[in-house]
Amino acid sequence: MYSTECQSQIRLGRILCVTSNLPRWTGDNTTPFVLHLAQDLQMLGWDITVIAPHAPAAADFELLDGVAVTRFHYAWPDTWQQLCYQGGALINLRQQPLNWLALPTFIATEWWAVLRQLLMYRYDILHSHWILPQGFIGMLAHYATLHSIPHIITAHGGDVFGLRSGLFTATKRIALHSANAVTVNSSITERAVRQLAPRQQSILRIPMGVNITPFTAAMNQHAAELRNQHRIGRGPLIVFAGRLITEKGVGDLLHALAEVRRELPDIRALILGTGQEQAFFIHLAEQLQLNNCVTFSGWIDHDQLPAYFRAADIVTAPSRTAANGWMEAQGLSVLEAMAVGTPVIATAHGGLIDSVIDGQTGLLIPESDPTALAAAIVQLHANPDLAARFSLAGCARVTARYSRSASAAQFSQLFTQLMQRYSR
């Protein structure tokens, strides 16, 4: 087992973090917010070990950007491990129903990996990311070790809004009621969790944090280069960042761009990301004759995203409710754009309404409405004073409420309180 020294001089305790979403290696295209939280907690003095699913070409044990990671195998050969990553388990189950066959062994091997760690090493906190399956598996391990340490479940949204059948709902309710505390990332997630587990008395809203880093000269130069490369004439330059799936509203954005171009022929858009429906959206852009207007840039390393957001005139997040009930629970790309001072347009959907205050920190539009999105783009482009006001207010809101340091501090306070309660 790998270990790493805490960055703080004060050792607060040891946390076993269990997740189904973690970069498989440095530079991977898996969203890194769980890894970032682990890094930030280590900076505060916590010693972190993360358990995550294995994937082809990933290491079984490693120090991943300073965090100790152990990965469990759940299918053999490794190439059959297709349940997680590349958009997440819910999307992979929907896209490839054969992945359901891997679920029983996934649950069994993850449970054994967690239980083995708890029995072999001394931990002070068990922290499960996502209610299913990690929260449920954490509950089983918690029972098996006779409730020896506090168990915290963090609900990220997809676990709440998806998997709504009777069996899954009952399993989620049991797991949530068993936890010593539950954290949620937004008001919409909190509302759903309270409805799902009404007897759970310890529910705290702690959003996942984003980087609040002053731009260096090199970063400013990169943003300027991107702007010079992709923005022409009067603009504007639009940026979207996210998984290329219907729920993210990519199709709505493409239809909106086709409308806007009639009034603003110089408009250009960068679509950053990959996803299961990428080929469909590229074809749709061709059908809408957007070939010279839209660039599909593929996956952009997370460290490079701030430069792309800074280069943009507007960042859009047109997420929509999926057929299975999925919602955008928080919308980290919106927060990251606001953090660098770029105006945003988002749908009045899910957790986006927490960060984007309509008319104050950005514009909110109805979901699944390309015409409303087109009108908002035209409005914001025509009102530079309004865009500047959104830039300042949005950056201030993210800095005050959504920084990585603020998020880690709230988690650290919760963990400390639970340890003190358990030690009485």
Closest CA to 335 of 322, 351, 348, 324: 351
pLDDT confidence of residue 6:
53
Residue 111 — φ and ψ, nearest 5°? -60, -45
pLDDT confidence of residue 2:
46
Q: Are 270 and 238 in contact (CB under 8 A)?
A: yes
Note the pLDDT tens digit of each residue in 139-168.
Answer: 999 999 988 899 999 999 989 998 888 999
Q: Are 331 and 266 in contact (CB under 8 A)?
A: no
CA distance 269 to 256: 11
List 181's β-bridge partners, or say none.
152
pLDDT confidence of residue 332:
96
Which residue positions in the chain have pLDDT lower than 50? 1-5
Give residues with Cβ within 8 angstroms of 328, minimum separation 6.
Answer: 157, 247, 248, 317, 319, 347, 349, 350, 351, 352
Q: In whole angstroms, how far apart are CA 84 and each of 24, 92, 93, 321, 393?
A: 11, 7, 9, 22, 37
Strands 61-64 and 67-72 come out as antiparallel
Q: Are 172 and 194 in contact (CB under 8 A)?
A: no
CA distance 358 to 295: 28
Burial class (CB in 10 A: 0-12, 13-18, 19+), 198: exposed
Instruction: Output the CA angle 87-196-349, nearest 5 degrees.
Output: 50
What is the reported pTM? 0.93
Report the sign of the C-alpha dihedral through residues 82, 84, 88, 93, in that order: positive
Closest CA to 316 of 269, 354, 281, 383: 269
Closest CA to 416 of 16, 46, 120, 7: 46
3-state secondary structure the chain: CCCCCCCCCCCCEEEEEECCCCCCCCCCCCCCHHHHHHHHHHHHCEEEEEEEECCCCCCCEEEECCEEEEEECCCCCHHHCCCCCCCCHHHHHHHCHHHHHHHHHHHHHHHHHHHHHHHHCCCCEEEEECHHHHHHHHHHHHHHCCCCCCEEEEECCHHHHCCCCHHHHHHHHHHHHHCCEEEECCHHHHHHHHHHCCCCCCEEECCCCECCCCCCHHHHHHHHHHHHHHCCCCCCEEEEECCCCHHHCHHHHHHHHHHHHHHCCCCEEEEECCCCCHHHHHHHHHHCCCCCCEEEEECCCHHHHHHHHHHCCEEEECCCCCCCCCCCCCCHHHHHHHHCCCCEEEECCCCHHHHCCECCCEEEECCCCHHHHHHHHHHHHHCHHHHHHHHHHHHHHHHHHCEHHHHHHHHHHHHHHHHHHHHC
In order of their start, the domains of the chain are: 13-209+403-423 (3.40.50.2000), 217-401 (3.40.50.2000)
Cα–chain-centroid distance for residue 61? 24
